[in-house]
């Protein structure tokens, strides 16, 4: 294309671009559409532990309600049954100093057994939710734990705890990392999410034991009976050498599928090029989101996590 007055044309185009960049921006208020509240159930059975079930209501995406005390559904009738035995779960809570809030859940009183089928029944506001799980999972044996000051994944470069173990043969298995460590006022959130200290409710000299659960879950697909290497970024920083106790959780398929979808949602929010993930109907169909599953943990392995120099 031939312009006789090219300098004038270029100047005009630059003026148009600049005016578009600096013109007033209009804020548009998004209307709050009607929302059908849905419950979410997260229940797990572990041999030699009592049943724990989180029973909460969901809220719209733009809702400002994040207080666990307002999300928990109270006065529900929740039971876990097996042949000849019924465990009535009662509402309970534990304080979480890292978040300065309480965690609410329904807790049973009868320890679960291995190789047993359990049925969860929840009755709330004339609605009934039910699902079953069987405690047939096999724990892995951790071969060793090590450390790397830097590794890269989809979330960037950071330090990592490396866990080695062999996949359980002849089974369809799903795994998740778990770590127990001490935390105090010097411990900081590695993501720096909205606050400098992750433990603002602790005083100088206070120490708590913090159980960190890996944000991702893993399938042994294409890794049957092979040696597995998991590299996990710790959630907290540390300023001194920290003693940690590492476990590997073996999960059933229902538990794995739910947390895999949650992990996919987080990744799609972090990376705009990842296709959005939606929570699919699970054991409770369209009546509720969530799962009722089983897990078993490996024996803990002690490891001294060095300083990240």
Residue 146 lies in a domain: yes
Same domain, 146 and 255: yes
Structural domain count of the chain = 2
- Written as six digits, the tokens of 81 are 């049954």
Residue 20 lies in a domain: no
Same domain, 111 and 167: no
Boundary residue ending a domain (110, 134, 158): 134
Same domain, 212 and 261: yes
- Written as six digits, the tokens of 27 are 């804020």
Distance CA 151, CA 155 (A): 10
CATH of the domain at 95: 2.60.40
The answer to whether the CB of 256 falls within 8 A of the CB of 216 is: no
Residue 10 lies in a domain: no
Backbone CA torsion sign across 195, 201, 203, 205: negative
Boundary residue ending a domain (81, 107, 134): 134
- Chain mean pLDDT for the chain: 85
pLDDT at 226: 93
Same domain, 161 and 273: yes
Average pLDDT of the segment spanning 155-182:
90
**3-state class of 113 per DSSP?**
coil
pTM of the model: 0.83
Boundary residue ending a domain (134, 162, 188): 134
Same domain, 205 and 264: yes
Same domain, 72 and 169: no
Lowest-pLDDT range of 198-207, 214-223, 259-268: 198-207
Residue 81 lies in a domain: yes
Same domain, 151 and 240: yes
The answer to whether the CB of 154 falls within 8 A of the CB of 271 is: yes
Return the closest-CA partner of residue 95 out of 245, 199, 22: 199
Average pLDDT of the segment spanning 13-25:
57
Residue 252 lies in a domain: yes
Same domain, 164 and 193: yes
Same domain, 146 and 130: no
pLDDT > 90 fraction of the chain, expressed in percent and rounded = 52
pLDDT at 185: 77
Same domain, 84 and 164: no
Residue 186 lies in a domain: yes
Residue 92 lies in a domain: yes
Residue 227 lies in a domain: yes
- 172-187, pLDDT tens digit by residue? 999 999 999 988 877 7
Same domain, 118 and 184: no
Distance CA 57, CA 75 (A): 13
Range of the domain at 229: 142-278+296-305
Same domain, 301 and 170: yes
- 82-132, pLDDT tens digit by residue? 998 999 999 999 998 877 889 999 999 999 999 999 999 999 999 999 999
């Amino acid at each position: 294309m031939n312009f006789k007055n090219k300098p004038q044309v270029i100047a005009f185009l630059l003026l148009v671009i600049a005016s578009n960049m600096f013109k007033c921006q209009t804020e548009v208020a998004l209307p709050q559409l009607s929302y059908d509240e849905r419950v979410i159930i997260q229940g797990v059975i572990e041999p030699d532990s009592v049943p724990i079930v989180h029973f909460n209501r969901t809220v719209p995406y733009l809702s400002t309600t994040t207080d666990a005390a307002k999300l928990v559904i109270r006065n529900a009738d929740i039971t876990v049954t097996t042949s000849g035995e019924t465990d009535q779960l009662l509402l309970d809570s534990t304080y979480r100093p890292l978040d300065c809030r309480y965690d609410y859940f329904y807790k049973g009183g009868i320890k679960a057994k291995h190789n047993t089928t359990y049925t969860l029944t929840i009755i709330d506001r004339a609605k009934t939710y039910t699902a079953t799980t069987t405690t047939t999972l096999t724990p892995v044996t951790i071969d060793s734990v090590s450390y790397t000051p830097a590794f890269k994944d989809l979330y960037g470069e950071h330090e990592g705890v490396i866990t080695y173990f062999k996949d359980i043969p002849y089974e369809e298995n799903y795994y998740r990392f778990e770590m127990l460590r001490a935390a105090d006022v010097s411990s900081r959130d590695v993501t720096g999410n909205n606050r400098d200290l992750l433990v603002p409710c602790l005083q100088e000299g206070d120490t708590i034991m913090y159980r960190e659960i890996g944000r991702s879950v893993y399938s042994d697909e294409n890794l049957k009976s092979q040696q597995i290497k998991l590299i996990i970024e710790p959630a907290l920083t540390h300023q001194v050498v920290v003693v940690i106790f590492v476990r590997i959780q073996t999960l059933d398929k229902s538990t794995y599928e739910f947390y895999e979808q949650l992990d996919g949602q987080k990744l799609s929010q972090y990376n705009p090029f990842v296709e959005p993930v939606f929570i699919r109907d699970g054991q409770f169909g369209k009546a509720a989101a969530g799962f009722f599953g089983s897990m078993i943990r490996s024996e803990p392995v002690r490891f001294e996590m060095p300083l990240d120099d």
